[in-house]
Amino acid sequence: MTPWIRITLAILVLTVTACSGDKAKELLETAEFEERQMNLPHAKQLYEDVIRLYPSSKEADMARARLAVLNGK
């Protein structure tokens, strides 16, 4: 995936999640969707975003667990 497409998707995801109530949950769901679509680099980036933006949330805990699996740890 080209960097411009990746940046555009990230902006789109952040814009969509900014319009709702539970942003951490929606961002995590988007990451899970990307993982199911086998777009692993983007899924990892979104999981990292969940952790960075919502570090003490339950979604961050779930994102850490998925990253550990995806990174083979």
Has residue 2 got a pLDDT over 90?
no
Q: Among residues of the chain, what percentage have pLDDT more than 70?
A: 85
DSSP designation for 20: S
Q: Which domain holds residue 49?
A: 3-70
Chain mean pLDDT for the chain: 88
Q: What is the pLDDT of residue 19?
A: 53
Report how many domains make up the chain: 1
What is the spatial distance between Cα 2 and Cα 51, in angstroms, rounded to a whole number? 24
For 35, other C-beta atoms within 10 Å of its C-beta total: 18
Largest CA distance in the chain: 34
